[in-house]
Amino acid sequence: MATLDPGRLLRDAFAAAIDAARPERCVPPALPALPAGRTVVVGAGKAAAAMARAVESSWDGDIAGTVVTARGHAVPCECIEVIESAHPVPAEVGLRASERVLARVQGLTRDDLVLCLISGGGSALLPLPAAGLTLGDKQAITRQLLRSGATIHEMNTVRRHLSRIKGGRLGVAAHPARLVTLAISDVPGDVPVDVASGPTVADPTTCADALAVLARYGVAVPDAATAALVSGAWESIKPGDARLARAEFHIVAAPQASLEAAARVAEAQGIPAVILSDRLEGEARDVGREMAALARRILDEGRPYRAPCLLLSGGETTVTVRGNGCGGRNVEFLLAFGLALGPAASVHALAGDTDGVDGMEPIAGAIWHPGTLARASALGLAPQGYLDANDAHSFFRALGDSVVTGPTLTNVNDFRAVLVMGEGIGDGG
């Protein structure tokens, strides 16, 4: 164990978490039987194109359809149309793609099958505004929500009620065809209605809930939207709707399975792994400070776990943006973690987004070493200033400690790994 490389272990654990959720592994075993009629594939999300290709590679019948994915996440498909659009702020091409997806499922029969492939990012990639709203309205509302600190559940509650395709509406449009949704979950608790804002599932939340979120975070919306929400005119599809009676929803990859894959990497090297939770939420910097306190307690008191150990967690934190930095909730978590921890000689950590993009930057996350603070000081970097500016990506980039994967073509959200070492264990990496 003296030759253990902590940095390499963390990177290998992150890679294993991503690999466990790759569409080519998780989609084919979940495919339904061939229908008597046509098969139409639709979908949206950062993994949608890779999921579509996985379907094509395993499907024995005729197939056609349209999926929309984020820029840089397209892969070639033979029969299924792939459209790239913007994320996290929606764009005109996404609106047109949404219309095309909706048109694909019109006019089907009970003998037909609609296979819907959804994953994280689908909310922004299907920006079909409710009647009376414009794309510009949705873009402005999205920007406000992204900076507000709202949870993903709160954001998606709003999105479902400002849409003509989310909140079960795509599922209703596909009626009376059989509808099978295969989802790669990026949301805490794997709640179906929150994956891509639930385009094919019934929604228990209401217009009143959406209004409450908007008021809670001071998000401005057009008067027409307020009036429609108050009247209930934009209510989503509710549980028990007969038009969704033939709809199925299956999660084919989820954060817990990815954390378990990461745990196996550590345990293969003799490091016990603890999965704290696959659904941690809250302000990224607050979660970072809490994780630092846990690591310090392990070091100082040997509880609630004994070193060496790898602490793993997933979920989706939030960032209330106050500065002008380039953001990233995983790197914000990591910088707050390191500042709260201080110069602990035996703690390493990695935090990253499994889709390869943390915030607006094409960087998955970053890694923290025991010498990070000393190296930053030597370079004249003030870590607290970077945290205050929501600019942790710039901090880790300056140190050469960013974790760059490129688009992974999957998305099971945040990955956090904290390696608390013991006496006599290698301190490399």
Convert the pLDDT of each residue in 34-88 to its tens digit: 999 999 999 999 999 999 999 999 999 999 999 999 999 999 999 999 999 999 9
Question: What is the spatial distance between Cα 315 and Cα 27, in angstroms, rounded to a whole number?
Answer: 22
Q: Which residues, in sequence order, are bridge partners of residue 349? A: 368, 418
Q: How far apart are CA 275 and CA 425, in angstroms?
A: 22
Higher pLDDT, 1 or 281: 281
The DSSP letter of residue 414 is: E
Rounded mean pLDDT, 384-395? 96
Say how many C-beta atoms besides its own lie within 10 A of residue 297's C-beta: 14
- Does the structure show a pLDDT above 70 at 24? yes
Task: Return the H-helix or E-strand segment holding 345.
Answer: none
Cα–Cα distance for residue pair 275/256, rounded to 1 Å: 8
Considering only CA atoms, give the Rg of the chain: 22
Per-residue pLDDT reduced to its tens digit, 197-209: 999 999 999 999 9
Q: What is the mean pLDDT of the chain?
A: 95
CA distance 48 to 69: 6
Q: Which residue has the tokens 């949705």?
A: 138
Span 365-394, mean pLDDT? 96
Query: Closest Cα partner for 6 from 403, 372, 377, 367?
Result: 367
CA-to-CA dists, residue 203 to 8, 53, 365, angstroms: 43, 29, 33
Q: Confidence class of residue 429 from pLDDT cuts 50, 70 and 90?
A: very low
Written as six digits, the tokens of 264 are 């196996």
Confidence of residue 325 (pLDDT cuts 50, 70, 90): confident
Q: Whole-angstrom Cα distance, residue 226 to residue 207?
A: 10
Rounded average pLDDT over 89-112: 97
What pLDDT is stored for residue 290 in this prediction? 98
Residue 384's Cα: distance from chain center in Å?
27
Q: Look up residue 227 and give its two tokens.
A: 């009036």
Q: Amino acid letter at 40?
A: V
pLDDT in tens, 157-200: 999 999 999 999 999 999 999 999 999 999 989 999 999 999 99
Residues of the chain with pLDDT > 90, as a percent, come to 93
Average pLDDT for 249-277:
97
Q: Which amino acid is at 36?
A: A
Tell me whether the omega of the peptide bond preceding residue 222 falls within 30 degrees of 0, making it cis: no
DSSP designation for 87: S
What pLDDT digit, counting tens, does each position of 202-246 carry? 999 999 999 999 999 999 999 999 999 999 999 999 999 999 999
Per-residue pLDDT tens over the stretch 362-371: 899 999 999 9
Burial (Cβ within 10 Å: 0-12, 13-18, ≥19) of residue 161: buried
Q: Is the model's pLDDT at 132 over the cut of 80?
A: yes
d(CA 217, CA 291): 26
Helix (H, G, I), strand (E, B) or coil at 241: coil
Q: In the sheet that 273-280 helps form, which strands lie side by side, from edge to edge? A: 273-280, 309-315, 414-420, 347-353, 365-368, 402-403
Residue whose C-alpha is closest to residue 17's, from 310, 401, 318, 296: 310
- Residue ranges and CATH numbers for the domains of the chain are 6-18+256-420 (3.40.1480.10), 24-253 (3.40.50.10180)
Instruction: Average the pLDDT over 304-327 and give the result.
Output: 91
Q: pLDDT exceeding 70 applies to what percent of the chain? A: 98
The tokens for 393 are 């990506």
pLDDT of residue 2: 52
Q: How confident is the model at residue 1 (pLDDT cuts 50, 70, 90)?
A: very low
